[in-house]
C-alpha cells in the first residue's frame, strides 16, 4: 500500500525505546481523543519490554479512565523542539506546534508574602 503521508519528520531513534534513551530524546504519550499529554518512562519500558521495544505505530490506551481513546507516542530531541508523532504516517489533522517545554510545569508559585510584624496593642495614655 502506497504511503500517502510518509512521516519524514520522525528521527530514527524514536522508533525504539532503547535508542530513544541513548539519544536523550523526549517521548510523551498523546491522546487525540481527549487531547491530554502524558509522561512515559522509557527506562521502565526498557526494563519491562527490552531495548527493542517498538514505539512506532503503537496505540496505547489513554490513561484517563473515562476517555477510552487510544493515543500514540510523540517524540522530540530536545525540550525546545516540536513534537513529532511516532507514527509511520502523520495524521492528516496533525498540526506541528507543541513542544515538550509547553507541558513542563510552570515556575513555582512565589512564596507567600511574609506576615506583617505583630503590632502591639498599647493602651493609650490619656494626655491629661
Ligand atoms: Zn484520552
Structural domain that includes position 66 = 13-88
C-alpha 123 – ligand 1 centre gap (Å): 65
Average pLDDT, rounded, for the chain: 87
6 within domain boundaries: no
C-alpha 53 – ligand 1 centre gap (Å): 22
C-alpha 55 – ligand 1 centre gap (Å): 18
pLDDT class of 128 with cuts at 50, 70, 90: low
C-alpha 3 – ligand 1 centre gap (Å): 27
Mind listing the pLDDT tens digit for each residue in 18-63? 999 999 999 999 999 999 999 999 999 999 999 999 999 999 999 9
118 within domain boundaries: no
C-alpha 75 – ligand 1 centre gap (Å): 18
36 within domain boundaries: yes
100 within domain boundaries: no
CA distance 72 to 87: 7
Q: What is the pLDDT of residue 126?
A: 64
User: Which DSSP string corresponds to 17-79?
Assistant: HHHHHHTT-EEEEE-TTT--EEE--HHHHHHHH-TT-B-TT--PBPSSTTT--B-EEEEESST
DSSP 16: B
Instruction: Write out the three cell numbers for 66.
Output: 473515562
CA distance 90 to 82: 14
Domain count, the chain: 1
C-alpha 72 – ligand 1 centre gap (Å): 10
Amino acid at each position: 500500500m502506497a504511503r500517502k503521508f510518509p512521516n519524514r519528520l520522525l528521527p530514527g531513534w524514536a522508533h525504539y525505546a532503547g535508542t530513544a534513551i541513548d539519544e536523550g530524546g523526549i517521548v510523551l504519550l498523546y491522546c487525540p481523543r481527549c487531547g491530554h499529554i502524558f509522561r512515559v518512562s522509557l527506562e521502565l519500558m526498557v526494563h519491562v519490554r527490552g531495548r527493542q521495544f517498538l514505539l512506532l505505530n503503537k496505540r496505547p490506551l489513554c490513561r484517563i479512565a473515562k476517555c477510552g481513546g487510544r493515543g500514540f507516542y510523540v517524540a522530540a530531541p530536545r525540550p525546545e523542539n516540536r513534537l513529532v508523532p511516532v507514527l509511520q504516517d502523520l495524521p492528516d489533522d496533525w498540526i506541528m506546534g507543541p513542544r515538550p517545554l509547553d507541558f513542563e510545569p510552570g515556575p513555582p508559585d512565589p512564596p507567600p508574602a511574609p506576615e506583617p510584624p505583630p503590632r502591639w496593642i498599647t493602651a493609650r495614655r490619656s494626655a491629661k
